[in-house]
Structure 1
Amino acid sequence: MIFTKSNEKIENEKNLYSLKQLQGKMSKFETERADVIELSKKFNEEVATIKFSNQLKEKEIEDEVNALSEDDVIARTTKILTDYFLGQRQIYWHIQNPFDNHDVFRRENSEFQEAGIQKIILVCFAALSDSMHNMPSHIERKQIRRLRGDLIEFYQDKYLILQFIEHHLQSRLPHTVYRDLMRLFPSGN
């Protein structure tokens, strides 16, 4: 009988340990979820609301784009589209493949993988794509006036998104992911 009670006690301790582990994971999940919800709210306030209400009017951006030659407008627009797709590919790689052959990347990216931050980054890419969706047809038809408008909207959106990333995501992203975002979407036009 003593042996049976010991087995029961051991089993109860295992169950208690498993329950504590589950509670810890649930607590971590709830914290991450709350963090992502808070970031989503900040994104809506600091990027989406301004973007869709046309509150950001940067005269410098408009003047610079309007000063470009037609060939420069097409070249810049083409480069933006190429960089955007490369950026999406790189971020997708970070999200889908957190464990590559580099130990630093593996250590840094394990936290990125568990957090909901990657969803916020994808929202940033989606917001940029909204300002780019007409670019290919405007390039094809050589509609320079419309391309200028697309470039102005893209640069304004990019400015808002980079500000958001620098203020809210920089400290939460692995260095490799942040570096790739800044490299693919540098502050300059």
Structure 2
Amino acid sequence: MFLMRKKTIEARKGYIGKLEDQLNEKNAEASLYTNLLEKFKMEVQGPYLKGQLNSKDIADKVNSLSDEELLNRASAHLKEIFEGQRHIYFQISLNDHLSNSGIDSLCLLCFAICSDALHNMPNHMLRKDMNGLKFDLIRFYEIRNLVLEYIEKHLQEHLNYSVHDDLIKTFKISQLKV
């Protein structure tokens, strides 16, 4: 009887040890996610929302585009962002067993902030408001550059190759080429 009790206690200690290890791992993941989210807010979201993005080079290039080029680029960027979001979403949802919800959320956050810069473009396109389209296109290029830097600097090591490659490909496709 004493031997049975000793084995039960040892088994429970082993179980408690495993639970403690899992809890420590989850706390480390949460800490990493919180740290990466703070960096996102400082390096991407803050400058974007405060209007601290001011790239004369980008503005000059966008302002030199014809109306037709503006419409074509805006249409292409909208399509690319939607397709990119869709692709990343399905990679995350179909590979749920490999998913890291904190990092996955950050990937989708990158798309969300770019979508914010694009959200008025359909109205500008319909009304043929080229000044509004230029403004939003400049903001999109600026935020896209910040997002690209953020992904390369902070997320690359935490993403599986496929997701990282898709994110970079999506954001680099939409680079300004004049």
TM-score by length of 1: 0.87
Q: 2: distance between equivalents of 1:97 and 1:154?
A: 29
1:116 aligns with 2:102: yes
Letter in structure 2 aligned against 1:42? K
Letter in structure 2 aligned against 1:81? L
Which runs of 5 or more residues in structure 1 are unaligned? 100-108
Residues 138 and 146 in structure 1, CA contact (< 8 A), matched pair in contact too: yes
Q: 1: distance between equivalents of 2:2 and 2:75?
A: 74
1:28 aligns with 2:14: no
Q: 2: distance between equivalents of 1:185 and 1:28?
A: 31
Match of 2:76 among 76, 79, 94: 79
1:37 aligns with 2:34: yes
What displacement does 1:115 show?
Answer: 5.3
Instruction: Quote the RMSD (CA, aligned, Å).
Output: 1.5
Letter in structure 2 aligned against 1:136? P
Give secondary structure in 2 for the equivalent of 1:116.
helix
Q: 2: distance between equivalents of 1:115 and 1:78?
A: 31
TM-score by length of 2: 0.92
1:156 aligns with 2:142: yes
Q: Deviations over 1:79-116 (max 9, x none)?
A: 111111111111111211116xxxxxxxxx82xx1351
Aligned residues: 175
Residues 32 and 115 in structure 1, CA contact (< 8 A), matched pair in contact too: no
1:135 aligns with 2:132: no
Q: 1: distance between equivalents of 2:11 and 2:123?
A: 63
Match of 1:125 among 103, 107, 111: 111
Residues 131 and 150 in structure 1, CA contact (< 8 A), matched pair in contact too: yes
1:6 aligns with 2:3: yes
Letter in structure 1 aligned against 2:3? S
Say which is worse superposed, 45-54 or 27-36, in terms of deviation.
45-54
Which runs of 5 or more residues in structure 2 are unaligned? none
What displacement does 1:125 show?
Answer: 1.4
Match of 2:165 among 150, 173, 179: 179
Distance verdict in 2 for CA 1:114–1:8, change over 3 Å: farther
What displacement does 1:9 show?
Answer: 2.2
Give secondary structure in 2 for the equivalent of 1:185.
helix
What displacement does 1:50 show?
Answer: 0.9
Percentage identity across aligned positions? 34
